Amino acid sequence: MDALTNLATSTVATAPSPATSGTSLVVAAGTGVRYPAVPFDVTLCAPGTKPDPTNAEIARCTAVSTDTLTLTRAQYGTTAQSVSVGWYVDNDVTANLLSQLVPLSTVTTAGDLIVGTGAGTVGRLGIGANGDVLTVSAGALGYAAPATGVDLLQFFQSTLPSSQTWQSVTYGNGAFVAVAYGSTAAAYSTNGGVTWTAATLPSSAYWASVAYGNGAFVAVAGGSSTIAAYSTNGGVTWTASTLPSSQTWQSVTYGNGAFVAVAAGPSTAAAYSTNGGVTWTAATLPSSQTWRSVAYGNGAFVAVAAGPSTAAAYSTNGGVTWTASTLPSSQSWQSVTYGNGAFVAVGFGSTAAAYSTNGGVTWTAATLPSSFYWFSVAYGNGAFVAVAWSSTAAAYTQVVALASANTATVSSPSVTSGTAFTPSTASNATVYFQINAASAGSYTLTMGPTTGAENTIGSAVAMVAGSDAIVTLVVPRSWLVVLTLTSVALGSTTVVAM
C-alpha cells in the first residue's frame, strides 16, 4: 500500500502550467524531502480554505525530484483546480489509501485467518496483495509483523526473459539465478523474481541445477556429462569446471562449506566441492534413486527423488551418510529448497508441493495455485520462487500464516464440528485448523473460558467449492473452542502450546 509520512505538507512555489492540467509543480525549497516514497496522493487546496469538492483536488504523485513533484491530476472523481503559488500540497489520508486495506467483511478466502491477543480480544486477520497483514483488536485496525516459520504460502506469476526449458533457480547475494536445459541460457533477477535479465552459460549443455554459496553460483549439467560451471559476479558471467564422473547430474546445493551434487540414473552418485565449484570429489548416496534435487538448511542436506516416487533422504553430517524419509504423495518431485525454517519441494506436472520443518524427517502436503511442469524452487529475501519447464511460467510466494514450534508442545487432537474442546490447560496455545471445501460451505469459530460462555469470532466465513483454508486461532490457557462446519470438512487440527 502507499507510504505515509507525518506532517508531509508544503506550499506551491512554482505552479503547474496550465494551472488546471499541468503535470508538475515545485514546492517550497527544501520541503520535497517531507513526502514519502512514490506513488502517493496529495490534496491541492487554496490557502485559508478547508478542502471540499468545490475548492480542492486530489492528485497522484508518481515522482519526486528534489522539490519537483510529477502529478496525475484530478484523481478519484475530484475536479481539477486552478492551482497557483501558495496553494497547499498535503499528503493526506484518502479513500484510495484506505481502499488498499483488505476489507474485513470480504476476507473469506483460503487466506482468512483468525487471531487473538489474549483475554478474549480477537479479530480477523486480512491478507493484502503484497503480503501486508491487517489486524482488528477491540474494533481498532492496525498492522501485524510476520514471525518466523512457514504454514501457508501464496504464489504469484512472473515472466522469464525467453521461452526455454528452465530447469533450476537459486538465490544468493541479492539475486535469483536460473539456468535452462539444452542451451546456454541463464537469467538473473535482483528484485525478488518479479523481473528477469538474460545471461549466458559457458557452453550449451543439459544444465540441470544451480546453487549459491560462499560468493559463487555453481551449476551442473546432466546428459551423462562431467560439465559444471561457476560464477562469482551474481550470475552475469560464467566459467567452466569438471565433475568427477560422467553422470546425469540433476542437482547441486551449498551448505557447511561445501557444494554437494546428486545424480539421477537411477544412481547413487554424488559429488562435493569445497573451493566454490572449481574442483570436485566423488561421494555416494545411500540408495539408487532418480535423485532430482538436493538442498541444505539448518545443519541438514535434504534430497528428493522423481519416479513418480515418495522417496526423500536427509543427511546431518555434511552429506557423508544419509537417512531415507517419505514425501506426502507419489509425484515426480523435481526440486527442494530451504528457507524461513522449512524445506519446500515442488512436483512436476501437477499442483503438488510439500514442506518439512524438521530437517526433512517428515513432510506435509501443500498446493501450488495452478498445474505447470514445475522444475525448481528457491528461497531468498522473504520469498520462495519457482520456475516451470518449457514455458515462461514462474511463481513467487509470500508468507501468510506463521508459527514457531522451537519451544512448543505440538499435538493433533480429535475435533468434532460443534463440540467444544480445550487446546491446552498448561499455557496459551495456537491452533491450526485445515479446512477443505469440496463444495461451497462455511465455518464459524467460538471460544470462551467455560461451556456456554463462548463468544463467536466474527460471522460465518464462506468458502468456495474446491478451496482450502488454514485457520489460525490463539487461545488463552484452559479456554474452550468450538469449530462449527457447514458443508465443509476438517482435514487436520494442530495445537502448538508454548
Higher pLDDT, 272 or 30: 30
Model-wide pTM > 0.75: no
Q: What are the pLDDT digits (tens) for 253-264? A: 888 888 888 888
Residue with cell 559457458: 202
Q: What DSSP element (H or E) covers 95?
A: helix 95-99
Q: Rounded to whole angstroms, how far apart are CA atoms 173 and 188?
A: 12
**What region does 257 belong to: left with phi over 0, alpha with psi -120 to 50, or beta?**
left
Give the SS3 label for residue 99: helix
Helix (H) or strand (E) holding 158: strand 152-164
Q: What is the structure's pLDDT at 197?
A: 92
The answer to whether 384 and 366 have CB atoms below 8 angstroms apart is no
Question: pLDDT per residue over 294-328, tens digit each?
Answer: 888 888 889 898 878 888 988 888 777 888 998 99
| Mean pLDDT (whole number) for 81-90 | 94
What percent of the chain stands above pLDDT 70?
81
* In the predicted structure, residue 424 carries a pLDDT above the cut 50: yes
Three-state DSSP class for residue 68: strand
pLDDT averaged over every residue in the chain? 79
pLDDT (0 to 100) of residue 119: 34
Count of helices and strands (H, E) across the chain: 1, 38
Is the pLDDT reported for residue 337 higher than 70? yes
Q: How confident is the model at residue 454 (pLDDT cuts 50, 70, 90)?
A: low
Least confident of 8-12, 89-93, 172-176, 427-431: 427-431
- 319-328 tens-digit pLDDT: 778 889 989 9
Please write the tens of the pLDDT for every residue from 13-38. Answer: 999 999 999 999 999 999 999 999 88
Q: Is it true that the peptide bond before 18 is cis, omega within 30 degrees of 0?
A: yes
Phi, psi of 43 (to 5 degrees): -100, 125
Q: Which pLDDT tens digit goes with each residue over 369-420?
A: 677 888 778 777 666 777 777 766 676 664 433 334 344 566 778 899 989 8
Choose the weakest-confidence range: 71-80, 124-133, 149-158, 452-461. 124-133
- The alpha carbon of residue 121 and the mean position of all alpha carbons in its chain are separated, in whole angstroms, by 28
Residues sharing a CB contact under 8 Å with residue 420, sequence separation 6 or more, in sequence order: 451, 454, 480, 481, 482
Task: Kindly state the average pLDDT of the residues 153-176.
Answer: 79
Structure confidence at residue 151 (pLDDT)? 38
Cell 537469467, residue?
A: 187
- Contacts of 71 by beta carbon, 8 Å cutoff, 6+ apart: 16, 23, 24, 25, 42, 59, 60, 61, 62
C-alpha radius of gyration, the chain, whole number: 27
Segments in 328-417 forming alpha helices (H):
none
Residue 65 confidence class, pLDDT cut points 50, 70, 90: very high
Q: What is the distance between the alpha carbons of residues 23 and 271, in angstroms, rounded to a whole number? A: 61
Q: Residues of the chain with pLDDT > 90: what percent?
A: 25
pLDDT of residue 491: 77
Residue spans of beta strands (DSSP E) within 190-255? 197-213, 216-221, 225-231, 239-247, 249-255
Phi, psi at residue 71, to the nearest 5°?
Answer: -125, 150
Cell of 76: 478519484
Which of 207, 201, 212 minimizes the C-alpha distance to 225? Answer: 207
Q: Which residues of 83-98 are buried (b: 16+ CB within 10 A; e: fewer)?
A: beeebbbbbbebeebe
